[in-house]
């Protein structure tokens, strides 16, 4: 398929599990891609924009940097994220700043900078990565869940506000995905990641947790013309296992 021939895209969190799949699949379908992450050296892409999303000037400047490097900006995938664990009682100021900074402030800054660029060139698509845990509560991850609820809400609001400019803004809300984020969490708690992923898979009606490509396929759909009438949606991608 060449759904993205001639299109340009910025992907944050491009070195991570879901981000790497998105970059690979967008490029396989013809897109020219600018990758953003703390270290992008190992990623194959048309433009490399490494940096720390906690730096406001970096986040503010990413869309223009991508547009200049690629000759335009049609698609933004706000995928980078961090997970901090614990109830609010366990949450330090540093956890709060990190979670809000990467998960909420960065997509806000990037979207705020990307929307005028896209409007000027006739439109575009932004896809944010929320979480099932932003739609309903999850145990012992209060601030993470809150940040993902914020992303879902921001998506719904921006989707409504900018549709008239030809900019479609949507989100995916995955449940568990087999990525470094999930696996390092298991390892930190003393579980073998492979065993834990297999056990977790048994709790999913489809019989396995998601692989990054399962989520990337939906992200690409939302970024594509096939989703031309979707604005402000949050698509739950959960293998039949909604968070209760
Ligand atoms: P991951 O840890 O593999 O990738 C996240 C990427 O974001 C990393 O490459 C990391 O370097 C980057 N990043 C984090 N902080 C950054 C910063 N300050 N500056 C620049 N880059 C930074 O995780 P993933 O599972 O691929 O997560 C991608 C998205 O999916 C995240 O928003 C996450 O919250 C969301 N999500 C993941 C799961 C899951 O189970 N893995 C479930 C629901 C939602």
What are the pLDDT digits (tens) for 172-215? 999 999 999 999 999 999 999 999 999 999 999 999 999 999 99
Report the C-alpha gap between 149 and 197 in whole angstroms: 25
Residues classed as catalytic: 144
What are the pLDDT digits (tens) for 10-29? 999 999 999 999 999 999 99
Under 8 Å between Cβ of 159 and 168: yes
| Alpha carbon separation from 42 to 83, 213, 225 (Å, rounded) | 23, 19, 30
The response to whether residue 236 sits with its C-beta less than 6 Å from ligand 1 reads: no
Measured from the Cβ of residue 198, the count of other Cβ atoms closer than 10 Å reads 12
For the chain, domain boundaries: 8-177+211-237
The response to whether residue 193 sits with its C-beta less than 6 Å from ligand 1 reads: no
What are the pLDDT digits (tens) for 68-105? 999 999 999 999 999 999 999 999 999 999 999 999 99
> Is the pTM higher than 0.80?
yes
Question: What residues have CB less than 8 Å from 139, skipping those under 6 apart?
Answer: none
What are the pLDDT digits (tens) for 123-136? 999 999 999 999 99
Atom of ligand 1 nearest to the CA of 103: 32
Measured from the Cβ of residue 203, the count of other Cβ atoms closer than 10 Å reads 12
Q: Does 161 score more than 70 pLDDT?
A: yes
pLDDT at 243: 72
Give the class (CATH, top level) of 8-177+211-237: alpha beta
ipTM: 0.99
- In angstroms, how far is CA 50 from the centroid of its own chain? 16
What are the pLDDT digits (tens) for 26-69? 999 999 999 999 999 999 999 999 999 999 999 999 999 999 99
Instruction: Identify which of 39, 59, 62, 81 to mutate to test ligand 1's pocket (most ligand atoms within 8 A of the CB).
Output: 81
Report the C-alpha gap between 163 and 11 in whole angstroms: 21
Measured from the Cβ of residue 183, the count of other Cβ atoms closer than 10 Å reads 18
Q: Whose CA is nearest to atom 6 of ligand 1?
A: 13
The response to whether residue 172 sits with its C-beta less than 6 Å from ligand 1 reads: no
The response to whether residue 105 sits with its C-beta less than 6 Å from ligand 1 reads: no
pLDDT at 244: 65
The response to whether residue 134 sits with its C-beta less than 6 Å from ligand 1 reads: no
pLDDT at 1: 75
Instruction: Identify which of 19, 80, 103, 213 to mutate to test ligand 1's pocket (most ligand atoms within 8 A of the CB).
Output: 80
């Amino acid at each position: 398929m060449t759904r993205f021939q001639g299109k340009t895209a910025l992907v944050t969190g491009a070195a991570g599990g879901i981000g790497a799949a998105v970059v690979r699949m967008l490029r396989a379908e013809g897109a020219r891609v600018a990758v953003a992450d703390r270290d992008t050296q190992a990623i194959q892409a048309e433009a490399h924009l490494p940096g720390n999303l906690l730096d406001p000037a970096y986040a503010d400047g990413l869309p223009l940097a991508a547009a200049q490097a690629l000759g335009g900006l049609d698609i933004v995938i706000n995928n980078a994220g961090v997970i901090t664990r614990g109830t609010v009682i366990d949450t330090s100021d540093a956890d709060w700043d990190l979670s809000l900074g990467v998960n909420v402030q960065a997509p806000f800054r990037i979207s705020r900078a990307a929307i005028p660029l896209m409007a000027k060139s006739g439109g575009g698509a932004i896809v944010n990565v929320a979480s099932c845990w932003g739609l309903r509560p999850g145990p012992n991850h209060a601030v993470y869940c809150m940040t993902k609820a914020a992303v879902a809400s921001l998506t719904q609001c921006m989707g409504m506000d900018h549709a008239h400019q030809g900019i479609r803004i949507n989100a995916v809300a995955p449940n568990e995905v087999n990525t470094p984020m999930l696996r390092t969490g298991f390892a930190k708690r003393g579980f073998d990641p492979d065993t834990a992923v297999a056990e977790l898979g048994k709790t999913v009606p489809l019989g396995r947790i998601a692989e990054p490509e399962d989520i990337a396929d939906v992200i690409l759909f939302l970024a594509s013309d096939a989703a031309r009438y979707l604005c402000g949606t949050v698509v739950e991608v959960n293998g039949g296992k909604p968070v209760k």
